[in-house]
Chain A
Amino acid sequence: MNRKSMRTLLVLSAIAMAMIVSPAVVSYPTGIQGVKDSGCNCHGATTSSEVVPSITGLPDQYNYSESYEIVVSFVGGPASPTNSNQGGFNLWVSDGELSPSDATVQSYNPNEVSHTEAGNDQTSWTLIWTSPSSDRNVEFILHTNSVNGNADGANGGSSGDMWNKLTAKVSPPVLVLEEADPFVVLSTLIVVSAILLAFTLAYVFYRTNPESFTWDYFAPWIADWLTTTDHKKVGTLYFVAGLFFLGVGGIMAMMIRIQLAVPGNDFLTQDQYNQFFTLHGTTMIFLAAMPLINGFANWMVPLQIGAPDLALPRLNAMSFWLQPVGALLIFTGVFSGSGADTGWTGYAPYVVSETAHMGTTMWVAGQIMLVASSTLTGINFLTTIAVMRAPGMGWLQMPLFTWSILIANLMLFLSIPAFGIGLIQVYLDRVIGTAFYDVSAGGDPLLWSHLFWYFGHPEVYVVIVPAFGVISEVIATSARRSIFGYRSMVYAMAGIGIVSFIVYGHHMFTSGMSPTLRFVTMLTTMLVAVPTGIKIFNWLKTMHGGSLVYRTHTLWTLGFLVTFTLGGISGMFFPSIAMDLHLHESYFVVAHFHYVLVGGTVFGFYAAIYYWFPKMSGRMLDEKLGVLHFLVGFISYNALFWPMHRLGVWGMARRHHTYFVTTEEAMGALPIEAAGWNMFISVSAFIFFFSNFIMVANMIKTLIRGEKAPPDPWGGWSFEWMTESPPPTPSFDPHNLPVLTDANEHIANEPGTLSKLFNRLMVSEEDTEEVTH
């Protein structure tokens, strides 16, 4: 056997061993329950006033860190000493610690105690409460269950039980205010951010020209920004909006993490939590990721293809302005306290039910505007790239970033009408009362899932493919060689573009959809990893054949390669339907998509920002601050999202406002370590959030007094590096466009069979002047 096949055999056996040795997955069949909110509803559906619970031994006002012996008991109901079991209880306290004093009581966590098997046959229990060491408004919630002793009866003996609830309050030595209302906190933070943004913009305006800081100059300046159709200015508008909403989405994430830092937390109620994760998702995808992509696309695509501007400039401005107005509609819910609580996926029939909050209608309306914006963007970019390339630049001579924008826009504007129609259907259902998703009238909730995910899956590729383009550009420039395998990169992206439309069923494996479609999409999803893998290998080979210069953008690109690959691999557990049934709606999913969305898309943006900021602003960013940003950000990011894989495997569910841990495995909650990991994640989240301000500070500092940038600071060779920094308006003289003469880095040699086929359809080269209509 030769060396090559020996090596292959060794690798394959190593993989096989790893698969055998890797830990098994355990999922908890009973899920997680929260008695504090929902009551003893395994024992019965509602409370019963025949049972009277009581707590004795509580002081009116506690002293700091003092232990009180309290007795929990109840009277009434069917319990009687002749029954085999008499009753049970669950006591939750908001602050301080509860601990058992005998074997009849067990502790789930410091805030919650319940009865044990041994303590199942009594009507009163004694335990100890240790008061907190600070001033808190303490609340006790007690549930007691009166058992009728039919141990062999229906429901395992719990039918016929009666239970009731009691709340009690204890004041602190020094009176304190009510706890903060999360919506007030969020609205305040958003308003503060907006004010900070306005001040920053005003400051930048002042510093660019201190003499003209008067109203006479301000009005035309702001009017110019409100009415501009120049692709560079529109790109800047997209940036500012995108970064602002990235921050707002981050604030929401912080509040979610505060809530999840400890088990059984009550910072956000269940209802508020639902609104927060809905808005976090919608904001991050539609108001942060998409505008940031459009910002780069607007800025760089015309420069890279040598066009003076986009094909339809006023439509481009329209695309932008639909976004902030749409955002206003979406956020009306935040400021009213009754925002959409459907999840960013807005599943039917909840989304058209009367129990969903009223803000859902505005959430839908805002997204309709965003759909219009994306459609116009798609038309504009496809037209521009198809028709306005400089002479000499054929399809296979375009830079890879432009290719990525082309493929992304193709996917976007072909898939988004499905979402738009679904949204219109939901809007009409909620407003004029059509019955698209009304189950009692025959409406099919799966229709929404299909329409949403027909768009939703291409959408997530829309946000990652431009990042791929950026990475290609940055790696090539940083490695000081052309990208390896240009043509295969193009075909890989095109392949991703087409296959992305036939995989969307993998989001719906648990929905009860058509079994045939389930099977088909399982196979196609496994297939779509192949082109992505090709791209990763090409990037690695580019670095291998070149010599890397380590700038900040290079660091972020290397970070991307690590985190996106990890995210992609964790994603490969989901195509298998059997695995998906266990992992669906767990934190494993959350870990996966944050690895590809943040570790992929956002890291790609950071690389793009550090790479193209000199071109866009004419000034060089501070490298030291950039490296600091990378180090703090990359480490805290991994600390933040990596443990979520483990939490998901343990069974922590996503979109649940809290979770519970227990020492007793049989109760079905998470192990005790999960609480520690959640706290670790929350702390890392704060560090990651604040690390991004390093970049913002860098940008502001640079704009004010950064070093001036040359046209080509990194040694790139696509057209954008041939212009001034920042480029003039129009970006290229329409009567004197650059001609691509020497692009051997991008040239794909002789046209292949596909190219020859396209050639047959081309307008004949000689007749470019005489084409009449």
Chain B
Amino acid sequence: MNFIGLMVLTLIEVVAVGFHLPDERIFIFSNYTLMILTVVAIPKFIMIALIFMHLYGEEDSGILTVTALFPSFFIIIMILFIGLTHPEATTGLPAWCRPGTY
């Protein structure tokens, strides 16, 4: 059942942290732990939303799912514009774009 699956996934998360994985970049993540946490959080999120919150398998699931997903655009904008624009972040920009070089 749903909540057993969620418990199992949580167990995986906790165990992964306990293993003290190496601190190297993998794909787009800054370390292995972060990758496992993110990769596990996604199915947890989906399982709770779809099953517990009735966004799957019910008559009105379609429109409610669209409603639930509507803010995604605004969430992405906020994360891009606010979360990832700390002044120090400009050190990651190419030289021709950084202030002081043009």
Determine the distance from Cα of A266 to Cα of B88 in the docked complex, in whole angstroms. Answer: 44
Contact (A450, B63) CB under 8 Å given A515-B97, A515-B98, A516-B93: no
Digitize A663-702: 1 where CB-to-B-CB distance is under 8 Å, 0 elsewhere.
0000000000000000000000000000000000000000
**Segment from A37-45, A70-78, A182-190, A760-768 that makes contact with B:** A760-768
Contact (A414, B74) CB under 8 Å given A761-B63, A762-B63, A763-B60: yes
Chain A residue nearest to B60 in the complex (CB):
A763
Interface residues of A in 492-516 (CB under 8 A from B): 498, 501-502, 504-505, 512-516
**Shortest Cβ distance from A28 into chain B, in angstroms?**
25
State whether the Cβ of B59 lies closer than 8 Å to any Cβ in chain A. yes
Give every chain A residue within 8 A of B59 (Cβ-Cβ). Answer: 763, 767, 771
**Cβ-neighbour of A451 out of B74, B82, B86, B98 (below 8 A):** B82
Digitize A350-373: 1 where CB-to-B-CB distance is under 8 Å, 0 elsewhere.
000000000000000000000000
**Shortest Cβ distance from B26 into chain A, in angstroms?**
26
**Would B60 and A454 count as touching, CB distance under 8 A?**
no
Contact (A450, B85) CB under 8 Å given A414-B74, A515-B97: yes
Give every chain B residue within 8 A of A517 (Cβ-Cβ). Answer: 81, 85
Chain A residue nearest to B97 in the complex (CB):
A515
Give every chain A residue within 8 A of B66 (Cβ-Cβ). Answer: 761
State whether the Cβ of B77 lies closer than 8 Å to any Cβ in chain A. yes
Give every chain B residue within 8 A of A773 (Cβ-Cβ). Answer: 58
**Would B73 and A498 count as touching, CB distance under 8 A?**
yes
Determine the distance from Cα of A761 to Cα of B65 in the docked complex, in whole angstroms. Answer: 10
State whether the Cβ of B22 lies closer than 8 Å to any Cβ in chain A. no
Give every chain A residue within 8 A of B93 (Cβ-Cβ). Answer: 515-516
State whether the Cβ of A444 lies closer than 8 Å to any Cβ in chain B. yes
**Would A447 and B98 count as touching, CB distance under 8 A?**
no
**Shortest Cβ distance from A659 into chain B, in angstroms?**
32
Name, among B62, B85, B93, the residue most crowded by chain A CB atoms within 10 Å (CB to CB). Answer: B85
State whether the Cβ of B71 lies closer than 8 Å to any Cβ in chain A. yes
Determine the distance from Cα of A760 to Cα of B74 in the docked complex, in whole angstroms. Answer: 24
State whether the Cβ of A446 lies closer than 8 Å to any Cβ in chain B. yes
**Shortest Cβ distance from A658 into chain B, in angstroms?**
34
Digitize B69-91: 1 where CB-to-A-CB distance is under 8 Å, 0 elsewhere.
00101100110011001110110
**Would A501 and B60 count as touching, CB distance under 8 A?**
no
Determine the distance from Cα of A501 to Cα of B60 in the docked complex, in whole angstroms. Answer: 29
State whether the Cβ of B57 lies closer than 8 Å to any Cβ in chain A. no
Chain A residue nearest to B74 in the complex (CB):
A414
Determine the distance from Cα of A415 to Cα of B77 in the docked complex, in whole angstroms. Answer: 11
Determine the distance from Cα of A418 to Cα of B59 in the docked complex, in whole angstroms. Answer: 34
**Cβ-neighbour of B63 out of A498, A516, A763 (below 8 A):** A763
Give every chain A residue within 8 A of B90 (Cβ-Cβ). Answer: 514-515
- How many residue pairs link A and B with beta carbons under 8 A? The number is 53
Contact (A446, B87) CB under 8 Å given A451-B82, A505-B81, A515-B99: yes
Determine the distance from Cα of A502 to Cα of B89 in the docked complex, in whole angstroms. Answer: 20
Give every chain B residue within 8 A of A512 (Cβ-Cβ). Answer: 87
Give every chain B residue within 8 A of A446 (Cβ-Cβ). Answer: 85, 87
Chain B residue nearest to A458 in the complex (CB):
B74
Digitize A87-100: 1 where CB-to-B-CB distance is under 8 Å, 0 elsewhere.
00000000000000
**Would B82 and A454 count as touching, CB distance under 8 A?**
yes
Residues of B contacting A: mostly = helix
Contact (A502, B77) CB under 8 Å given A761-B62, A767-B59: yes
**Shortest Cβ distance from A384 into chain B, in angstroms?**
15
**Cβ-neighbour of B81 out of A414, A454, A498 (below 8 A):** A454
**Shortest Cβ distance from A423 into chain B, in angstroms?**
15
Contact (A450, B60) CB under 8 Å given A515-B90, A516-B93: no
**Shortest Cβ distance from A539 into chain B, in angstroms?**
29
Q: Tell me how many residues of B have a C-beta within 8 Å of chain A.
A: 22
Q: Tell me how many residues of A have a C-beta within 8 Å of chain B.
A: 27
Digitize A444-478: 1 where CB-to-B-CB distance is under 8 Å, 0 elsewhere.
10110011001000000000000000000000000
**Would A501 and B77 count as touching, CB distance under 8 A?**
yes
Chain A residue nearest to B63 in the complex (CB):
A761
**Shortest Cβ distance from A497 into chain B, in angstroms?**
11
Contact (A514, B77) CB under 8 Å given A761-B63, A771-B59: no
Interface residues of A in 375-430 (CB under 8 A from B): 414-415, 418
Chain B residue nearest to A444 in the complex (CB):
B86
Determine the distance from Cα of A773 to Cα of B53 in the docked complex, in whole angstroms. Answer: 12
Interface residues of A in 735-773 (CB under 8 A from B): 760-763, 767, 771, 773
**Would B74 and A516 count as touching, CB distance under 8 A?**
no
Give every chain B residue within 8 A of A414 (Cβ-Cβ). Answer: 71, 74
Chain B residue nearest to A760 in the complex (CB):
B62
Determine the distance from Cα of A767 to Cα of B85 in the docked complex, in whole angstroms. Answer: 49
**Shortest Cβ distance from B13 into chain A, in angstroms?**
26
Chain B residue nearest to A410 in the complex (CB):
B70
**Would B60 and A771 count as touching, CB distance under 8 A?**
yes
**Shortest Cβ distance from B16 into chain A, in angstroms?**
29
Determine the distance from Cα of A447 to Cα of B87 in the docked complex, in whole angstroms. Answer: 10
Chain B residue nearest to A382 in the complex (CB):
B67
Chain B residue nearest to A498 in the complex (CB):
B73
Determine the distance from Cα of A305 to Cα of B81 in the docked complex, in whole angstroms. Answer: 37
Determine the distance from Cα of A763 to Cα of B60 in the docked complex, in whole angstroms. Answer: 6
Give every chain A residue within 8 A of B89 (Cβ-Cβ). Answer: 514
Determine the distance from Cα of A454 to Cα of B85 in the docked complex, in whole angstroms. Answer: 13
**Cβ-neighbour of A513 out of B71, B85, B97, B98 (below 8 A):** B85
**Cβ-neighbour of B74 out of A444, A501, A513 (below 8 A):** A501
**Would A447 and B99 count as touching, CB distance under 8 A?**
no
**Shortest Cβ distance from A449 into chain B, in angstroms?**
10
**Cβ-neighbour of A418 out of B62, B78, B87 (below 8 A):** B78
Chain B residue nearest to A519 in the complex (CB):
B97
**Would A447 and B60 count as touching, CB distance under 8 A?**
no
Name, among B71, B73, B78, the residue most crowded by chain A CB atoms within 10 Å (CB to CB). Answer: B78
Interface residues of A in 319-375 (CB under 8 A from B): none
Name, among A418, A515, A771, the residue most crowded by chain B CB atoms within 10 Å (CB to CB). Answer: A515
Give every chain B residue within 8 A of A762 (Cβ-Cβ). Answer: 63
**Shortest Cβ distance from A690 into chain B, in angstroms?**
43
Determine the distance from Cα of A515 to Cα of B77 in the docked complex, in whole angstroms. Answer: 16
Interface residues of B in 15-73 (CB under 8 A from A): 58-60, 62-63, 66, 71, 73
**Shortest Cβ distance from A150 into chain B, in angstroms?**
34
**Shortest Cβ distance from A764 into chain B, in angstroms?**
8
Digitize A515-529: 1 where CB-to-B-CB distance is under 8 Å, 0 elsewhere.
111000000000000
Give every chain B residue within 8 A of A454 (Cβ-Cβ). Answer: 78, 81-82
Interface residues of A in 75-127 (CB under 8 A from B): none
Give every chain B residue within 8 A of A760 (Cβ-Cβ). Answer: 62
Give every chain A residue within 8 A of B63 (Cβ-Cβ). Answer: 761-763
Chain A residue nearest to B90 in the complex (CB):
A514
**Shortest Cβ distance from B6 into chain A, in angstroms?**
23
**Shortest Cβ distance from A742 into chain B, in angstroms?**
28
Determine the distance from Cα of A454 to Cα of B98 in the docked complex, in whole angstroms. Answer: 24
Determine the distance from Cα of A588 to Cα of B99 in the docked complex, in whole angstroms. Answer: 27
**Would A444 and B81 count as touching, CB distance under 8 A?**
no
**Shortest Cβ distance from A522 into chain B, in angstroms?**
14
**Would A516 and B97 count as touching, CB distance under 8 A?**
yes
Chain B residue nearest to A513 in the complex (CB):
B85
Give every chain A residue within 8 A of B71 (Cβ-Cβ). Answer: 414
Determine the distance from Cα of A514 to Cα of B99 in the docked complex, in whole angstroms. Answer: 9
Give every chain B residue within 8 A of A415 (Cβ-Cβ). Answer: 74
**Would B87 and A450 count as touching, CB distance under 8 A?**
no
Give every chain B residue within 8 A of A514 (Cβ-Cβ). Answer: 85, 87, 89-90
Q: List 5 A-B contacts (CB under 8 A).
A: A501-B77, A515-B93, A515-B97, A760-B62, A761-B63
Complex A-B, nearest 9 residue pairs according to Cβ-Cβ distance, in ascending order: A514-B85, A761-B62, A450-B82, A761-B63, A414-B74, A501-B77, A771-B59, A517-B85, A761-B66
Chain B contact residues, CB within 8 Å of chain A: 58-60, 62-63, 66, 71, 73-74, 77-78, 81-82, 85-87, 89-90, 93, 97-99
10 further contact pairs, Cβ within 8 A, besides A446-B87, A501-B73, A773-B58: A414-B74, A444-B86, A451-B82, A501-B74, A514-B87, A515-B97, A760-B62, A763-B63, A767-B59, A771-B60
